[in-house]
Structure 1
Amino acid sequence: MLTIAMPKGRIFEEAAELLRRAGYKLPPEFDDSRKLIIDVPEENIRFILAKPMDVVTYVEHGVADLGIAGKDVMLEEDRDVYEVLDLKISACYLAVAGLPNAKAVSVAPKIATKYPAVASRYFREQGEQVEIIKLNGSIELAPLIGLAERIVDIVSTGRTLKENGLVELERIEDITSRLIVNPVSYRMKDQFIDDMVERLSACLEGVN
């Protein structure tokens, strides 16, 4: 049995649709289940539903053979997993944002983000010294309450930024979801994993 860790929410829905297009027979109740572990015996697959940041941990430690993780997580987390396929779903991007008329701070401006490693690396590459403040949610709040001058966060439609009076200042990197594999599983179950990669790749041909 192949065990696949998948994040809940939008990525789960798009990944389930992609798997169906690739010919995997997932039951209708699969989409609405509140279970955290879902077995699909007819496909010899077990799904583990987890928080996006935890998917990579499950795959790295081998409790899941494969996982579906956003490229943002892969950039932030330095983990021992193989990234084998860009699934081209849940497209968004990482960006720097802030208040439109905020005065520039000359010495180490504060940057709020849930991606401290990505943010540190980006500003270092720009030759800018900053102070990183790690937050776990509601990143847009930081400039509004004076906690930080700028934020680094995921942008999808830009609606959340706009509704909170923020503007995008710099685009860092495009993000999509990736299929990742545990290195040991890739050796032990290579035939099954390669088959899945081939079937998913065939669905993605011609997708930009």
Structure 2
Amino acid sequence: MLTLAVSKGRILDETNELLIKAGIIKEPVIEGRKLVIEKPEDNLRFILAKPKDVPTYVQYGVADAGIVGKDVLHEKGKGYYELTDLKIGLCRLSLCGIKDKKNNQGEMIRIATSYPNVTADYFRTKGQQVEIIYLNGSVELAPLLGLSDYIVDIVSTGTTLRENGLEELEKIEDITCRLIVNQATYHLKNKFIDEIVEKLERGLSQ
């Protein structure tokens, strides 16, 4: 049996759709109070986790594999193999700020984000000095309350930004979900994992 950590929330519906389309599961994984779901008919066990915890479960071998966004992988570093781009959960990581607000070029700016490592790397390449303020959620509040000049956050439709008087200023990178696997597991169960990858890639091509 293979243990697969999957992200709770908005990505789960797309994950279910892909796994069913690929013939990996017959019935969807339902998010509820139960966080470990056995599917013996598919030879799978699912762990429902917060997206940022998925790589940790995989890295330490609690899960054999996981499905999670590239934004999380960039922030979390390594300790696993990234096998394939699943083309789901499409969004982007962007620099956002108050509409029409002006900042002098070259000045130290404050950025609120839940992606401090990615943000630091991005502004380092631009030669811009920044102070990064880590927030775990609702980063849109930071510029509205004067805590930061800008935010770096995930943008999908942009509705939340607009409702809070913010706008997307600069795209940092496009984001999709990836299949990752524990390094030791890949060598022990590589035949089973390769079969899953093949099914996923066939499902993506349909």
Q: Specify the TM-score bucket, using the shorter chain as the normaliser.
A: over 0.9
Structure 1 position 112 matched with structure 2 position 107:
no
| Amino acid in the other structure paired with 1:57 | T
- Larger mean CA deviation between 191-200 and 16-25 belongs to 16-25
Any conservation in 1 of the 2:51–2:69 contact (CA below 8 Å)? yes
CA contact (8 A) 2:35 2:48 kept: yes
Q: Give SS of 2:67's match.
A: strand
Letter in 2 for 1:86: D
CA distance in 1, matches of 2:26, 2:4: 13
Shift of 1:123: 0.6
CA contact (8 A) 1:26 1:40 kept: no
Count matched residues: 205
Question: Are 1:142 and 2:142 counterparts?
Answer: yes
8 Å contact from structure 1 (residues 111, 148) kept in 2:
yes
3-state DSSP of counterpart to 1:157:
coil
Deviation (angstroms), 1:79: 2.3
Asked whether 1:21 is paired with 2:21, we answer yes
Match of 1:92 in 2: 91
Distance 1:59 1:171 in 2: 29
The answer for the alignment partner of 1:6 in structure 2 is 6
Gaps of 5+ in 2: none
- CA-based RMSD of the aligned residues comes to 1.2
Name the counterpart of 1:48. Answer: 47
| Structure 1 position 33, deviation (Å) | 4.1
Match in the other structure for 1:128 = 128
Report the residue type matching 1:43 in the other structure: D
Query: Contact (CA 8 Å) 1:7, 1:69: kept in 2 or not?
Result: yes
Return structure 1 stretches of 4+ with deviation > 3 angstroms.
25-28
1:131 is paired with a residue of what secondary structure?
A: strand
How far apart are 1:32 and its partner, in Å? 4.8
Q: Do residues 101 (structure 1) and 100 (structure 2) align?
A: yes
Shift of 1:25: 3.3
Counterpart mapping for 1:53-202 below 5 A: 53-105=52-104, 106-202=106-202
Superposed CA offset, 1:111-167 (max 9, x none): 000000011001111110110000001111111000000000000001111110011
User: 1:98, 1:149 within 8 Å by CA — same for their partners in 2?
Assistant: yes
TM-score, reference length from structure 2: 0.96
Q: Which runs of 5+ in 1 are unaligned?
A: none
Structure 1 counterpart SS, 2:96: strand
Q: Is the contact made by 2:24 and 2:199 (CA closer than 8 Å) also made in structure 1?
A: no
Give, as a single letter, the amino acid of the residue that structure 1 aligns with 2:197.
Answer: V
Asked if structure 1 preserves the Cα contact closer than 8 Å seen for 2:54 and 2:67, the reply is yes
Q: Is the 8 A contact 2:83 2:180 kept in 1?
A: yes
